[in-house]
Amino acid sequence: MREKNKEKKVYIYKLIVTVLFALAVTAVINIAPNYIRNEISNKTNLVINNGNVTKSLKNDVFVENDVVYVSTKDIANFFDGNIFYDNKYDQIITSSDTKLATLKLNENKCTVNGAEVQLIASAKKVGDKFYLPFSEISKSVYNVETKYIQSTDTVVLVSLDRALTYANSSKKNSVKYKPTIFSKTVDKIEQGDNVTVVEQDNEQQGWTKVTTEKGKIGYVKNSSLANTKQIRSDLTIDKQIEGKISMIWDYFSMYGSAPTRTEKIKGINVVSPAFFTVQKLGKGNVMANVGEEGEAYIEWAHDNGYKVWALFSNDSMKETTSEILNDYKLREHLINSIINGVIAYDLDGINLDFENMYEADKDMYSRLVIELAPRLKELGKVLSVDVTAPDGSPDWSLCFDRNVIGDVADYIVFMAYDQNNGATTPGTNAGYDWVEENIKKFINENRENVDPNKLILAAPCYTRTWYQKSDGTYDDTTVYMKNTYEMIPEGTEIQWDDTLKQNYAKYTKNGKTYEVWIEDTESIKHKLNLVNEYDLAGAAFWEKYGAPDELWDTVSETLGIE
């Protein structure tokens, strides 16, 4: 009996030990994660907008003579994905929404939106890595406040465009790594100390995430905070136009005068007169064709509530365009000329229309857009950029990086026409199915990945009449929409093609056989329905002169613009 009791006691003892061990393991598993530290102690920590990003750095941040240096690769990751090293002029070009800056290596100065700024430190190369004196340019370029906390070897960067809320600690507090009292203490704060409120999360049982004055990020109880006050709200930039955009190009060429307009045009809110073009082999010089007629046109537009986004064209001059794109100083000269024109004529924006470019210049055209956009945005002006359908010839289609353009510019304009231009057999100029297919390519994240809210669909106010030549081949002639039905002989059968959403006619005239896929108010209406269906930014029309008057009632009704 004594032996059995002894065995029973041993069994119970082992069971208790096993249970206690299991509980201990469970406690360690549950509590240990609360003690994991996200700071790295052997290098300078980087905190951006209340998040420690040190583990994500591609290169170390360092401080030298009180100047904080950040590598260009990390600036690309956190602030400017388009930062660029210009080998020709040994300079780094960087930008934000409203600022464009250039920093030459080893020179204690930079330019910001064309103005020279003196610095106490320069951009430099360390090994094979480029570094910018971030604390010197953070406010003037990125609108970011930089603070170095020596006691914790932490650099804290705060975007001045973001909301900021402060609070005071109402007592001596331990700041926890996780929202639980069982978590590791990452910092201690005294009564009255300021903290930045990151977020209050009621689901975390009344804890608030904060950043301390030492740059430490953690949690304190809501009840231990007082005097919570929002210092600033998120910066928001109002759009020039609320609702859908409806833009007409008013084409009068670089050699004609602006059209005289006196009456309001229904259904539009933006006009784009052809005011500017590059000068042939002119090293970035700009030719303006505004004059008194153009100034009167701008006054008419503003009096009727229209925004004026002047057309700026390269006039399809491939060599001239390439020369400008591949030289920063020529791009800069061009951009300065555009900015001066916008200011001089009180324009509301620029519609950039560069066509017929070398595919090899694709990235450099993106550079022009990248460098122009912040200069315009600083003035509150709009940049829209015209592009062709995604798939096509090298010099007319593959020369555009639509994803970059769509990201940087305010709007990207899809010129949805000339579907069969240059073809050897007759075909439609802008079939509904082709237009819709390409819209899908633009907004598909695995293709061009353009935000639909930035995409403007441009429709043609013209078509092409195809005629058969004596040798059996075909040629085509451009016909304005307003004249199309007039040229079709009376009695010609006109058929509706429901795939193309267009009327089609075939007829014989003066011994030639003609085919035409007709652009009219009905076909345009179907294209405008795509704007609404895919929630695009709006529509544009090339060009006003070719459109029949009745078109604008349809535009007004379909897009909801008076």
Q: Are 435 and 443 in contact (CB under 8 A)?
A: no
Say which CATH architecture domain 45-159 belongs to. 2-Layer Sandwich (3.30)
State yes or no: pLDDT of 37 exceeds 60: no
State yes or no: pLDDT of 559 exceeds 50: yes
- Residue 523: its H or E element: helix 521-533
pLDDT at res. 78: 98
* Residue 417 pLDDT grade (very low, low, confident, very high; cuts 50, 70, 90): very high
- Can you name the CATH fold of 164-232? SH3 type barrels. (2.30.30)
- The CA–CA distances, whole Å, from 244 to 255, 302, 376, 461, 514 equal 32, 18, 21, 19, 37
Lowest mean pLDDT among 5-14, 92-101, 343-352, 397-406: 5-14
Which has more confidence, 106 or 22? 106
pLDDT at res. 424: 77
State yes or no: pLDDT of 27 exceeds 60: no
Interval 162-177 mean pLDDT: 91
Interval 235-243 mean pLDDT: 87
- pLDDT tens-place string over residues 497-516: 999 999 999 999 988 999 99
Residues 6+ positions from 200 with CB-CB distance below 8 Å: 208, 209, 222
- pLDDT tens-place string over residues 433-455: 999 999 999 999 999 999 999 99
In the chain, domain spans? 45-159, 164-232, 245-461+519-559
State yes or no: pLDDT of 29 exceeds 50: no
* Residue 340 pLDDT grade (very low, low, confident, very high; cuts 50, 70, 90): very high
Domain 245-461+519-559: CATH superfamily, name plus number: Glycosidases (3.20.20.80)
User: What does residue 474 show for φ and ψ, rounded to 5 degrees?
Assistant: -120, 150
**For the chain, what is the mean pLDDT?**
92
pLDDT at res. 3: 57
Q: How far apart are the C-alpha atoms of 320 and 234, rounded to whole Å?
A: 43
State yes or no: pLDDT of 329 exceeds 70: yes
- pLDDT tens-place string over residues 251-265: 887 778 899 999 999
State yes or no: pLDDT of 33 exceeds 90: no
Interval 337-353 mean pLDDT: 98
Torsion of CA 123, 125, 128, 132, to 10 degrees: -20
